[in-house]
Amino acid sequence: MTLDRPGDGDALPPDEPKHHRDVQRSGELAETRSRQEYWVDQQITTAMQPSAAEQQATAEEQAAAEKWDKDSPEFRWMWSEYLRKWPQEESLPVDRSDDPPGTWYGDRDRRLEPAENSQVEAACDVIAKREKEKISPALRAVESQDPNRHLIGFEHCRKGRDRIKEKVCELKEEHGVSAERAVSLVPDTIRFTFQYRESGYTQGVWAELGRLKNQGFELLKLKNSWSGDQYKGINSQWIEPDSGQRFEVQFHTRISFEAKELTHKAYERLRTNQADKFEQMVLEAFQSRVTAEVPVPVEAADIPDYP
């Protein structure tokens, strides 16, 4: 796992000569970690020590929470006004009586033929088994190591099958892959969210990365969006190496998670490219307005993307 960024004061040191790495000095154990692993471990250890700024953030955190709780009803009203202006279209029923049994139908005329649908259903069964037997127990074990944060929405850790099939259709269209291959590429068929207090967020995320690594999971991708104006939080993708199963872990505060939930339907509308330019502007303005009220935890924006 490599978490690095150009120009960082904690950049990796130059390689030592091989004989310095291999020789066991006067009673010391030889270093078996790679430079990258050693650097990541150092960063995690350092970040686990709470900074003075984090310790002093309690009053500001409380004030931000009170402001959010006061403002969030207005955001919900704004969304209701959007729905009044742009009511959601209802799909007209289509006669499917002549279609082969076992065909799956989604939005925007997407479909999976019976053989493809059967493949995806079988893959979903395998995903459910991996989640139940391996991945969820490991995430619960990680959760148990720190009482100051918790997993939220755990009962919804598996994406719904219809939503997986929508993603399979998207991947087929975009990349020309088979349905069977596409389902293996969906990064969040299994997903988890850790929620922290603002004052312990950065320290907690760094610690979580180390704990997930210690469970044997491999980091595939980390995207830090705390500097963004449409969404704030950190999303990461992991692989369970024995099966190759991908899963997602998000890192949020209470406010950033509630903001994500408030803007999720706007995000989905934008993602599907169904809105015209004016509606897109309205949706983006709504997301920006909500996101602007999300406090950024101390040093959270400094956690680097991976790779």
SS3 assignment, position 109: helix
Q: How many CB atoms lie within 10 A of CB 204?
A: 23
Per-residue three-class SS string for 250-293 = EEEEHHHHHHHHHHHHHHHHHHCCCCCHHHHHHHHHHHHHHHCC
pLDDT at res. 16: 39
Other beta carbons within 10 angstroms of residue 222's beta carbon come to: 21
Give 30-47 pLDDT, tens digit per residue: 556 655 565 566 555 655
Residue 144: predicted pLDDT: 96
CA angle 190, 191, 192 (to 5 degrees): 140
| Higher-pLDDT residue of 14, 253 | 253
pLDDT of amino acid 88: 77
Q: How confident is the model at residue 143 (pLDDT cuts 50, 70, 90)?
A: very high
Which domains occur in the chain, in start order? 63-87+101-302 (3.30.460.10)
Q: Which residues contact 168 (CB under 8 A, 6 or more apart)?
A: 112, 116, 120, 179, 182, 183, 186
The pLDDT assigned to 58 comes to: 75
Angle between the N-to-C axes of helices 58-85 and 254-271, in degrees from 0 to 180, rounded to the nearest 10: 30
pLDDT digits (tens, 9 = 90+) for 243-268: 999 999 999 999 999 999 999 999 98
Closest CA to 47 of 302, 307, 306: 302
Question: CA 160, CA 80: separation in Å to the nearest integer?
Answer: 26
User: Across the chain, what does the average pLDDT equal?
Assistant: 84
Cα–Cα distance, 205 to 298 (Å, whole number): 12
The whole-number pLDDT of residue 48 equals 53
Entry field: residues in the chain: 307
Phi (first) and psi of residue 29, to 5 degrees: -75, 140
pLDDT(149) > 60: yes
pLDDT of residue 98: 73
| Average pLDDT, integer, range 124-151 | 96
Angle between helices 201-214 and 136-143 (to 10 degrees): 140
Assign 240 to helix, strand or coil.
Answer: strand
**Alpha helix positions (H), 86-232:** 114-130, 136-143, 161-175, 179-185, 201-214
**Is the pLDDT assigned to residue 9 strictly greater than 80?**
no
pLDDT tens, residue by residue, 88-134: 776 556 666 677 888 999 887 889 999 999 999 999 999 999 999 99
**What is the per-residue pLDDT for 12?**
34
Which residue has 């599907």 as its token pair? 272
pLDDT at 203 > cutoff 50: yes
pLDDT computed for residue 234 by the predictor: 98
Q: Is the pLDDT of residue 74 over 50?
A: yes
Choice among 4-18, 31-45, 235-249 with the minimum mean pLDDT? 4-18
